[in-house]
Every structure is written in C-alpha cells, then in structure tokens.
Amino acid sequence: MARPGRPAMPKPDLHQSVDAFLDMLTTERGAALNTRQAYWRDLADVSLYLRNERNTDIDKATTDDLQAYLKNLSEKTHTKGSNKAKIAVRTVARRLSALRQFYRFMVSENMRTDDPTSTIESPKQGRTLPKTLSEGEVDQLITTAAEPGTPESVRLVCLLEMLYATGLRVSELVGLPMSAISEDFQFVTVAGKAGRERMVPLSDPAQKAVEDYLNIRKRFIGSENPGNQEKWVFPSRTSDSGHLTRQRFAQLLKDLAREAEVDEDRVSPHILRHAFATHLLSRGADLRSVQKMLGHADIATTQIYTHIVGDKLKKTVKDKHPLSKDEKKTASN
C-alpha cells in the first residue's frame, strides 16, 4: 500500500538478481521487513525507468544508464529555493546507495564483472538536523492525552511515556511482546535491527503508565483470534499482525497534536525518538549510553543530536550570558 500522498507504484516483475539481493539482506544481514521493502521500492523505480526509457534492465545497466536515471530523478523533483530541493538530494543519494550495494552484491556473486556505480559521485548533501520537540511540548502532549481518562487515553499515555522514556523505533514499540517488559516494569528488552538486543530502562512516569495500561489492556483484545493478539503489549482487533500498527499510532499522534495545540508537522513517533535523545544529552547524559538506548550500531549516527544540543546551548549563551551583547544592551537600558 502506498503511503498517504505517495502515488502507488506499479509492481513490476523485477529481475531475479534483485530478488537474490533482497533475500541476502534478510538472511545474511538480518534486515527488517521495512528495510527490505525500502530497497525494493528504490530498485523497482530504477528498473521501471531503465525498461521504459533506456530499453534495458537493471542487471545489464551501464554507468551512462544509471547517470541518466539519477539526472532524471533529480530534475523531476528539484525546485530551486524550495523544500523539494533538499528532498531531491536525499532521494538521489539514497537511490545511489541502494544501487551501489546491489551491484557490489552482483559482482561478489559473479553475476557481473564490473560495478557501474564505481565512478558515479554522490550528490553533496547539506547537514539536515532532525526535528524535535521542547520538553514543554512533550509534557503538553502527555497531559492532553491523559485528559479523557478512557481506555484509549490510558493506552495513548502509555505509548507516549514509553516512547519518550526509551527512544524506541516506532516498529519496536508497537511490536513489543509481553515478554519484553520486566516483571517490575523497570526495563524493556528490545530486539532491534539485525537482531541486536538491548535493555532500556523505563522512567518512573513510564513505569506507572505501563502499570495503569496493563490493568485495562484486555479491552483491546477481541474475541476473534485472541491468540494472535494476547502476546503483544499493544494488541489490536483489526490489524493482521495482531498489534497496533505504526500507521495507526502516527495518526493518533497527529490527532493529539491538534488537540494539544502543538504543530502537528513536528509530532510523529520518530520526532519523539529525537526528543528523547536530545533532552537526555541536554541534561548531561553520556553519548555512548544514548547510543545504546537508541540501538545505533555506529556512534556517528547518534552524534547528530549533539549538533542540536550545541545550537541550543549557543542560543542560551547568546541570550542569557552576562557578557553577551544583547544582555549588555538590556542592562544599559
């Protein structure tokens, strides 16, 4: 199913080398289903272009074919001076990355003798800092979520408190099995990307939210196929998986943002994950500890949050330091 606002992509029969590559991602690298689907979308888009515009297939593509595709992709979405320009650069870079990994796989499996991406340069990307929320905005969301006092409200508060206390990826949160929560509610054990398991502590408010929610959790388990629902922390009667979906949780957050009068464009499960990391670092948490709780394999991924905290500290010094020009001007007046 296409995401809202994204046109549905035709589903071509991709070359068998693509299927082999995707299978390798799953079996050898432990890639999650979402990761596999993302690679499929990227390689399917390339395949469609090559077949329709270059009269060739992805397994036989030359460097010229791929450069033509990337140029077309950039021109199709690039609008100077707008947000689309940033989107275009990121998209081109991601597609090129997928192609590089695909052709390296082909070479390693003796499906090709050359890598047509080896001489293609990556587009230059400016540093894009992740969106985040202030501590006050997070408090406002939680307070607003709690006001109705309904079972749905109790569940939403639990989701918010757990996400803000742990920084879990949304797929990790909604797919938590009951066995992931420790008996005293102090920890959550998470099976992250590539099977990497980590243990993340729950804050006092999150522990209470979990306890309150588990008292009413059975209300979300239907009579049909209850066995498929009972094993999940956040069961759902309507989803095929038996648990709350990422899409449904994201929609609940958008609705909540409107009620709480917080900019809904800045509220999503992933932005709450950013808020968790940013607020921890701004209060002096160790970068390595935050890396482990987020489940990042490389600390360089975590370091982007130090730039957000750094900008915040610079602004505080500029606005509040007694030797700053603005403070001097205020004092003299």
Catalytic residue among 169, 217, 274, 279: 169
| Rounded (10°) CA dihedral 273, 192, 91, 38 | -130
For residue 152, what are its two tokens?
A: 């749905």
Catalytic residue flag (residue 90) = no
Q: Which of 95, 155, 217, 273 is catalytic?
A: 273
Active site residue 273: yes
Active-site hit among 104, 193, 208, 246: 193
Cα→Cα distances 298→165, 266, 284, Å: 21, 26, 20
CA quadruple 28, 33, 38, 40: dihedral sign: positive
Question: Catalytic one among 29, 41, 246, 270?
Answer: 270
Q: Is 169 a catalytic residue?
A: yes
- Structure-token match 């890639």, residue found: 31
Active-site residue, 49 included: no
Is 243 an active-site residue?
no
Which residues are tagged catalytic?
A: 169, 193, 270, 273, 296, 305
